[in-house]
């Protein structure tokens, strides 16, 4: 079978690999669509395991089944990471800190014609797609689930003022979800195209990230933000967030700078103003289920976020589009094309 082998952001090769054979309890899924995630182009994060086949936002059709839960022809979304459900972290709702979650994965990755789904993923990480959810829409289940988890942890609610720093794919999903919750949304970016997208998907106020954001918030909102959601990995965004939270507010690092970069926190100010700093990572099973429901009920507009749909041989072009952050939003690879 053909796979897109990742070496680095500028070197993705179409290679041949044996089609995986499945064992007891496993599935073979024919990959129909797989999204390129912002994290796929974070080179510091991915390069340590290269060469490998990436792709974790994958939907497809069951081609072979050695279990009883799913049958050939079922349309499914497959979660690459699944938690054990019973460890200390899972029992305390930190499913994404579970050791099992970090160790699990399907084989070899979503940018391949077929994937083998291990038994543990079959048991708790395969979701049947309702007939109204396309494979392309299903590639948003994972990214939306991560966003849902983050906003749940931050306890975002109606009337809150949200500031989204960085209006790429995750920023736009955050904007749409916060809008659904009834929040007032400020969004930033440095790229004109993304600023347009932020506006299109419901941000109430759009700011250029280079502006004085705290001053702009004071001007339009009378106070700073209740929740600052950092959706850009640049250190400048991580630092800017520290200036933008109101008293009692939250700073949520959804994206972070690379390892080795530390942040100086004005801890004394934060102490007397009860400002919380938090992070969120990945998605748990409940988040995935909820994300699927939101997509199926058309509560989140994912269709209009898709700017490119490419064949497997064009995976390299797709990576350049996502890494370049130019005039693109969601880039989807169709491994059968």
CB of 104 vs Zn ion, minimal distance in Å: 10
Residue 137 CA to residue 200 CA, distance in Å, equals 19
Compute the least distance from the CB of residue 204 to Zn ion, in Å. 27
- Contact with Zn ion (CB under 5 A) among 3, 37, 163, 275: 37
Please identify which residue in 22, 90, 147, 252 interacts with Zn ion, judged by CB under 5 A.
Answer: 90
> Is 103 in contact with 80 (CB distance < 8 Å)?
no
Site residue total, Zn ion (CB under 5 A): 7
Query: Least distance from C-beta 88 to Zn ion, angstroms?
Result: 8
d(CA 82, CA 80): 7
Distance CA 98, CA 226 (A): 29
197, 204, 216, 244: CA torsion to nearest 10 = -80
Shortest distance, position 331 Cβ to Zn ion, whole Å: 12
289 — phi, psi (to 5°)?
Answer: -60, -45
Q: b/e string for 294-315 if b means 16 or more Cβ within 10 A?
A: bbbeeebebeebbebebbbebb
Please report whether residue 42 would count as binding Zn ion according to CB under 5 A.
no
What number of residues does the chain have?
337
Interactions with Zn ion, residue window 96-125 (CB under 5 A): 98
Among candidates 161, 291, 294, which has minimal Cα distance to 223?
161
Which of 42, 50, 87, 97 touches Zn ion by CB under 5 A? 87
Smallest gap from residue 282 Cβ to Zn ion (A): 8
Nearer to Zn ion, 64 or 107 (CB): 107
Nearer of residues 25 and 85 to Zn ion, judged by Cβ: 85
Q: Which is nearer to Zn ion, 111 or 205 (CB)?
A: 111
- Please give the residues from 139 up to 158 whose contact with Zn ion meets the rule CB under 5 A: 143
Q: Does 83 bind Zn ion (CB under 5 A)?
A: yes
| Distance in Å, CB of 42 to Zn ion, minimum | 10
Where does this chain touch Zn ion (CB under 5 A) — which range of 35-43, 166-174, 241-249, 303-311?
35-43
Q: Annotate 265-278 with b (16+ C-beta within 10 A) or e (fewer).
A: eeeeebeeeebebe
Site of interaction with Zn ion (CB under 5 A): 37, 83-84, 87, 90, 98, 143
């Amino acid at each position: 079978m053909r796979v897109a082998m990742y070496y680095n952001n500028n070197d993705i090769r179409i290679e041949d690999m044996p089609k995986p054979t499945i064992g007891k309890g496993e599935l073979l899924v024919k990959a129909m669509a797989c999204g390129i995630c912002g994290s796929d182009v974070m080179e510091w994060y991915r390069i340590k395991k290269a060469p490998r086949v990436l792709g974790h936002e994958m939907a497809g059709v069951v081609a072979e089944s050695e279990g009883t839960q799913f049958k050939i022809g079922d349309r499914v979304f497959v979660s690459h990471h699944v938690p054990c459900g019973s460890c200390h972290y899972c029992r305390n709702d930190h499913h994404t800190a579970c050791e099992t979650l970090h160790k699990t994965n399907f084989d070899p990755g979503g940018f391949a014609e077929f994937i083998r789904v291990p038994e543990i993923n079959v048991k708790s990480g395969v979701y049947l797609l309702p007939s109204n959810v396309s494979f392309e829409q299903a590639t948003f289940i994972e990214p939306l689930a991560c966003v849902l988890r983050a906003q749940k942890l931050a306890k975002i609610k109606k009337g809150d003022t949200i500031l989204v720093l960085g209006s790429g794919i995750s920023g736009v999903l955050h904007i749409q979800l916060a809008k659904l919750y009834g929040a007032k949304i400020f969004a930033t970016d440095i790229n004109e195209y993304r600023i347009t997208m932020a506006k299109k998907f419901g941000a109430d106020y759009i700011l250029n990230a280079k502006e004085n954001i705290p001053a702009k918030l004071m001007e339009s909102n009378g106070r700073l933000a209740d929740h600052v959601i950092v959706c850009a990995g640049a250190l400048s965004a991580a630092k800017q967030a520290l200036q933008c939270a109101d008293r009692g507010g939250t700073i949520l690092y959804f994206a972070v700078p690379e390892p080795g970069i530390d942040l100086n926190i004005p801890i004394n100010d934060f102490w007397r103003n009860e400002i919380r700093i938090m992070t969120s990572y990945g998605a748990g099973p409940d988040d995935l289920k909820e994300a699927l429901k939101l997509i199926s009920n058309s509560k989140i507009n994912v269709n209009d976020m898709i700017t490119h749909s490419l064949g497997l041989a064009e995976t390299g072009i797709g990576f350049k589009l996502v890494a370049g952050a130019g005039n693109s939003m969601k880039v989807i690879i169709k491994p059968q094309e």
